[in-house]
Structure 1
Amino acid sequence: MRDKLKIVFFGTPEFATHILDGIVQSHHQVVGVVTVADKPAGRGRKLQESHVKQYAVGTGLRVLQPTNLKDENFIKELSGLEADLFVIVAFRMLPRVVWDMPEMGTFNLHASLLPQYRGAAPINWAVINQEKKSGVTTFFIDEKIDTGAMILQAECALEPMETAGSLYTKLMHLGRTLTLETIDLIAEGEASLTKQTNYDELKDAPKLTTENTKIDFSKPAQQVDAVVRGLNPFPIAKATLLDKNNILQVKIFETSIVNKPHNMIPGSIVVKNNEIMIACSDSFVLLEKLQLPNKKAMDAKSLLNGYSFSSDARFDLG
């Protein structure tokens, strides 16, 4: 049992930064922060620091940015920090030589109710699949991805119009609290572990790709709308517009459901009263905000002020 633990934190995005700040504000000591190497981004290819690094530098924390997690120099430097515990939030898979290093182990905070939604994008897939609840789980790292013994879980409800962005914020705050509770339990020697049960139907959370972020308008409108919300604000749902001889990749930011039966071919476009409706398998979705190639994102009315759909224009079914 120890009152104050020395911790090394591993993470990259804003989600991780919020949890890191919670640990910094606690009575525990962050002796080092591991994050990704700076990467060139944007038109100028200027080196961009991760959100976690920006916070860590501003807070005066020691930062390590290995390109190879098995590099001898990195392992030596990490070992020299003499941490009691490693905490992982939104970081890549660690080799055993790293996660097996600290005396009190290495735990990860995952943004789902494990064992459901193991993988890279649990927040997005929970919204896309229209789950009624989600949550966060802390678990000790083992050789596989997101399969270790669970320490704590906390859950929250998904609202009917939840987006990946709004759920991200909910779980970020929930994760901050759960991480601190987990650290305290480990410090007190009172962490109770639960083995993950392999249910018959496990839902995965694979990495988002060009293929699995396309809208399929042959699905029911409710499912199409869930895809749009589950990919907002990142990476944004895509759809292919076939208009005359043009094939345009359109980003769709926001939709709403119009419960109106029809006998149209899915993907058909109805423009009326400065509104754009797309036929789905059962009813329609109204395009609230979209973006054509090389244009700004705008609402339907603004887009129609400068763009006219041909009579046979339609969206590809994905």
Structure 2
Amino acid sequence: MKIIFMGTPEFSVPSLSALIDEFEVSAVFTQPDRPKGRGKKLAMSPVKELAINFNIPVYQPLKLKNNIEMIEIIKNIKPDFIVVVAFGQILPKEVLDIPKCGCINLHASLLPKYRGAAPINWSVINGDSKSGNTTMKMDVGLDTGDMLLTEEVDITSEITAGELHDILSSGGGQLLVKTINGIVNNTIKPVKQENEMSSYAAKLGKEMANIDWKCSSSDIHNFIRGLNAWPIAYTHYENAVMKIYRSKVIEELSDKKVGTIIEVSKEGLKVVTGNGVLLIEEIQFPGKKPLKVKDYIIGNKIEIGIILI
């Protein structure tokens, strides 16, 4: 079974590892090396690092569309499957038509919900109780292909998007192996997506991470955990940006203005919201590490009565 793997970030690594264990991965396609860190040195993608460790040929085209050289390379490999996991490029039809058994994508949502770039984050932000992985047969649309297999995961009220990312990442590889074997053995029946049930998970950005304290405590709590580990929800404490990593919904009311800090203790900061009070447990100020509030207030002062905006 000859496979070409296309993927880039850390999320894709367990999938590539599982395929290497089970099949012949003939080539890996990943995004070009990018500047990283304060020194802006070129860094390999996590997928490239793993491929190099296994002496698998690596290709890094800026784009595949109309790239005659790369398309010829793919044709000459004569793959049975192309497997795509967070590659970062949409495959053109001329590539989709190459593999004998088709192109398979692993997507980190229960399709057709949350098509697009940030399905994990939006499922947490929206307060969903379930997420999961879906494998699908790729077509020219954005995450619109026929579904093959799904695997559900429960989302607790405290889990962050970063933690859910790791759970779905680690489980994705075995779901891909099951999918490929199921296609080869003709035991999987593809299911068309119901387009009217679809939703789009837009790409995240720092510009959307400012907390609106007029929202409900539960909505703000979901927002905070949905943006952890990136881009991290934030608010303004006087003239300083306060990033917020962890919170807890509590049963308490206040008649103070929304955003007001009404209590500071080892448990955290109590902040007034649109429908009650939210407990803020872990914060970060500029130039400092993320700290639990109980540790931050040992050497720093947070004033009661300050209104966060």
What amino acid sits opposite 1:223 in the alignment? D
Count of residue pairs brought into register by the alignment: 306
Partner of 1:278: 271
TM-score normalised to structure 1 length: 0.91
Bigger mean CA offset, 49-58 vs 98-107: 98-107
Bigger mean CA offset, 15-24 vs 153-162: 153-162
Alpha-carbon separation, structure 1, partners of 2:265 and 2:170: 42
Structure 2: where are the runs of 5+ without partners?
none
The answer to whether the 8 A contact 2:113-2:199 is kept is: yes
- Among 177, 180, 188, the residue aligned to 2:177: 180
- Among 84, 87, 94, the residue aligned to 2:83: 87
Bigger mean CA offset, 303-312 vs 57-66: 303-312
Alpha-carbon separation, structure 2, partners of 1:315 and 1:103: 57
Partner of 1:257: 249
Cα-to-partner distance string for 1:105-134 (whole Å, 9 max, x where unaligned): 111110111000111111111111111111
Counterparts of 1:1-318 in structure 2, within 5 Å, are 5-26=1-22, 28-70=23-65, 71-92=67-88, 93-199=90-196, 202-241=198-237, 243=238, 246=239, 248-274=240-266, 275-309=268-302, 313-316=306-309
Shift of 1:101: 1.6
Shift of 1:68: 2.4
SS at match of 2:259: coil
Shift of 1:8: 0.2
What amino acid sits opposite 1:94 in the alignment? L
Bigger mean CA offset, 142-151 vs 191-200: 191-200
SS at match of 1:314: coil
Alpha-carbon separation, structure 1, partners of 2:222 and 2:19: 34
CA spacing shift, 1:312–1:261, aligned 2, 3 Å: closer
Alpha-carbon separation, structure 1, partners of 2:205 and 2:104: 28
Shift of 1:310: 5.4
Alpha-carbon separation, structure 2, partners of 1:193 and 1:267: 49
C-alpha root-mean-square deviation of aligned residues, in Å? 1.7
Q: Quick one: percent identity of the two aligned structures?
A: 36
Structure 1: where are the runs of 5+ without partners?
none
Alpha-carbon separation, structure 2, partners of 1:72 and 1:87: 20
What amino acid sits opposite 1:221 in the alignment? S
Bigger mean CA offset, 152-161 vs 305-314: 305-314
